[in-house]
Structure 1
Amino acid sequence: EVQNNPEALVTDYLHSVAYQGTALSKSIYGSTANIESMQVVHLKSYIEQNYCGKNIVVCGVGDVDHAELVAISEEKFGHLKETSLPAVNDVVRYTGSEVRVRDDDLPYSYAAVAFEGVAAIHPDFFVVQVANQMMSSWNQAVTGGKFLSSPLARIMAKERPALSYKNFLVSYSDTGLFGCYFVAERDRVDDALFEIQSEWLRICVNCGDHEVQRAKLRLRNFLLDNLCCTNHVFNSLGRSLLAYGRRVSPMELIEQIERVTPERVKSVMTDILYDRCPAIAGYGAIEGSTT
């Protein structure tokens, strides 16, 4: 199933080179050989090492009786140990590098380019989130063309160097990846990459107050829209407790977003992009890429 999802494969390849030699380089999907050789002892070892009190967050959303939730939690999870077996302290290390998996039977080129971003609890996390919103995303089904707010999306819609693109920020506890995934015709990979890099550099030196404000508004609306969905509230609570040890309120998130300024965006993005080695992953019909 994963083999039929180019974006998932490219993301997996990207991590394998960006964090080579560390735990984050390992595939989250596993290999067919590992799945076939899985034994009960492996599952028991995993549960013993990871299913413990410090790794579990119990969340209640809506009309929930706190005392009843505590009682149920104690009944279901009270037997678990507070801490697990000592884990190996694997230091995460970013490495600018490249991997290409060529398959000429595929119709398009699928690629991602990324730089080391920021961790989820980094002070500049929301600055990079705003920059991510400024890059936006686009595909051929999007209408609007020259009226799109993102300069990169307008170029993609007009000149079609790529069939689609999606900027991303993936943040972990102590590192992150800021980059862009795109799909292009086999002879236009370099054109697409040029436009993406040009927009990144433009943000570093010439992002205006109006587009920063627009990106902040889009990010704020995205966060608030998620509060309407119970599943998103659950995820938000769990992530906040694991990352910060407390719940981060929506108002606190909005305040952090509002503190972002164009000068800060340019400064942080320059630190991330300027004179840094990217990690690149390509899959499919990539023979036309010379970058």
Structure 2
Amino acid sequence: MTDTMPHVETVTVGVWFGVGSRHEPLAANGVAHVVEHMLFKGTPTRDAFAISAEIENVGGHLNAYTSREQTTYYAKVLKEDLGLAMGILADMVQHPLFDEGELEKERQVIIQEIGQAEDTPDDIVYDHFLATAFPGQRLGRPVLGTADIVGSLPRTALMDYVHGRYVPANMVVAAAGNVTHEQVVELAARLFTDLPTGEAIQAEQALYQGGEFREERDLEQVHLLLGFQGLSNTDPDLYATLMLSTLLGGGMSSRLFQEVREKRGLVYSIHSFNWSMADTGVFAIYAGTGPESTGELVPVVCEEVRRLARSLTQDEVSRARAQLKASQLMGLESTTNRAEQLGSQMLSHGRYIPPAETVARLDAVDLDAIAACADRIFASKPTLTALGPLEGLESYDDVAGRLVA
């Protein structure tokens, strides 16, 4: 997949795999993320220093990430260095050494990363939220894994994961910038010749359940997530959901920001988000507040959620549409954003969705569609997750009762 931008001097190129922590064996939670780290640690022709130095010698940079549904390796370089970048990516993906010494060091690095996440309540609260929304399921397990599992993952677990999942059927090569499609096709055909064969891996079906998780911590703030079952990334109502999230808690003019922060001063940070996956999704509101404000905050948030579908205005809908359209179009100025859209959309939809199509779909969403979407989402069983001093937080049943119209 390519997106040619002849007016720029750079190119972002990457390899997108449609596998992540949802596709791990249960006993190897965290292996996808460990593999991502280890691909930077050397091949038969490049050690870890050479991998980074070759890119940085030409002023480029190399990065990667692991999510629950995909793993991505990408580089941004000047246009004349496309071949170098693709050569390094192809070498990393196809010929990782998984050296035992490097693996032992990287296990300790990732265990430190897990500890850092645990010490960051506004980060780890999201892991607890998904574990509560999807209990006992791969989707609810943390991307980083656990210290116990990561600390004992054998080299064979990494090799099995790569050989079974880093296959062409799960893979997209995408580039955006000053590049032609023919360049990328020729380089990919020449460089990606040692991939293992295999079929696309299917994730287990997710089953949203909802519920509650609370953890008392000695913190200055209470970190809250209140969420519901959302929509998959192929649901016809997805664009209505994006607009719903934007007008509820997507900016400084949103209902939650205005009512909770500006009018009442109950929080520093509050926002809503919609996270869509292949077969399900979550719609949630995050807030961080002082323990003395928790008792007032939660009822106010619930009231805003409860009354939203009945009180939408055309001005709000127009503003949310403009925000989303502007965000989409502004993202086109970045080669990395455009490459990310190519890779992710090809994995999710089997095709690239042109910006004009996205804008047209947003234009087609009206007030009634958003109201119907709100009724659909907020009718699901809520998921409540909270970390911090929780004396002021009322019971789950009381919170759920406040959401009933």
Could you state the TM-score of these two structures normalised by the residue count of structure 2?
0.66
Residue range with higher mean Cα deviation, 87-96 or 169-178: 87-96
Which of the residues 170, 195, 200 maps onto 2:275?
170
User: Residues 187 and 289 of structure 1 are in contact (CA less than 8 Å); yes or no, is this contact kept in structure 2?
Assistant: no
1:179-194 matches, within 5 Å, as 179-194=284-299
User: Residues 163 and 185 of structure 1 are in contact (CA less than 8 Å); yes or no, is this contact kept in structure 2?
Assistant: no
Q: Identical aligned pairs, as a percentage?
A: 23
1:129 and 2:242 are equivalent in the alignment: yes
Which of the residues 313, 316, 325 maps onto 1:211?
316
User: Residues 162 and 189 of structure 1 are in contact (CA less than 8 Å); yes or no, is this contact kept in structure 2?
Assistant: no
User: Residues 249 and 255 of structure 2 are in contact (CA less than 8 Å); yes or no, is this contact kept in structure 1?
Assistant: no
Residue range with higher mean Cα deviation, 24-33 or 9-18: 24-33
Q: How much does 1:58 deviate?
A: 0.7
Q: Which whole-Å deviations, capped at 9, do the CAs of 1:242-288 have from their partners, x for residues lacking one? A: 111111000000000001000111111101113x3101111122232
1:158 and 2:263 are equivalent in the alignment: yes
Matches of 2:267 and 2:307, distance apart in 1: 19
1:20 and 2:125 are equivalent in the alignment: no
Equivalent in the alignment of 1:271: 376
Matches of 2:250 and 2:121, distance apart in 1: 17
Which of the residues 318, 325, 335 maps onto 1:230?
335
Q: Which whole-Å deviations, capped at 9, do the CAs of 1:31-55 have from their partners, x for residues lacking one? A: 1112211211111011112201121
Gaps of 5+ in 2: 1-115, 396-405
Matches of 2:333 and 2:307, distance apart in 1: 35
User: Residues 137 and 165 of structure 1 are in contact (CA less than 8 Å); yes or no, is this contact kept in structure 2?
Assistant: no
Q: Which whole-Å deviations, capped at 9, do the CAs of 1:125-149 have from their partners, x for residues lacking one? A: 01000011102356xxxxxxxxx53
Paired AA for residue 219 in structure 2: L
Q: How much does 1:89 deviate?
A: 5.2
Q: Which whole-Å deviations, capped at 9, do the CAs of 1:76-114 have from their partners, x for residues lacking one? A: 323224534x756522100020011111x2111001010
Could you state the TM-score of these two structures normalised by the residue count of structure 1?
0.91
Which of the residues 384, 389, 393 maps onto 1:280?
384
Which of the residues 34, 58, 61 maps onto 2:149?
34
> Does the C-alpha gap of structure 1 residues 70 and 22 become closer, same or farther in structure 2, counting only changes over 3 Å?
same
Residue range with higher mean Cα deviation, 20-29 or 188-197: 188-197
Paired AA for residue 157 in structure 1: E
1:248 and 2:353 are equivalent in the alignment: yes
Matches of 1:208 and 1:83, distance apart in 2: 51
What SS class does the counterpart of residue 44 from structure 1 fall into? helix
**Bigger-Rg structure (1/2):** 2
What SS class does the counterpart of residue 45 from structure 1 fall into? helix
Matches of 2:337 and 2:178, distance apart in 1: 16
Q: How much does 1:189 deviate?
A: 1.9
> Does the C-alpha gap of structure 1 residues 137 and 267 become closer, same or farther in structure 2, counting only changes over 3 Å?
closer
Matches of 1:224 and 1:5, distance apart in 2: 33
Equivalent in the alignment of 1:95: 209
Q: Which whole-Å deviations, capped at 9, do the CAs of 1:129-174 have from their partners, x for residues lacking one? A: 0011102356xxxxxxxxx532322222221222311111111001
Paired AA for residue 93 in structure 1: L
Matches of 2:291 and 2:307, distance apart in 1: 26
What SS class does the counterpart of residue 286 from structure 2 fall into? strand
Equivalent in the alignment of 1:144: none
Structure with bigger RCO (C-alpha 8 Å, 6+ apart): 1
Matches of 2:203 and 2:264, distance apart in 1: 48
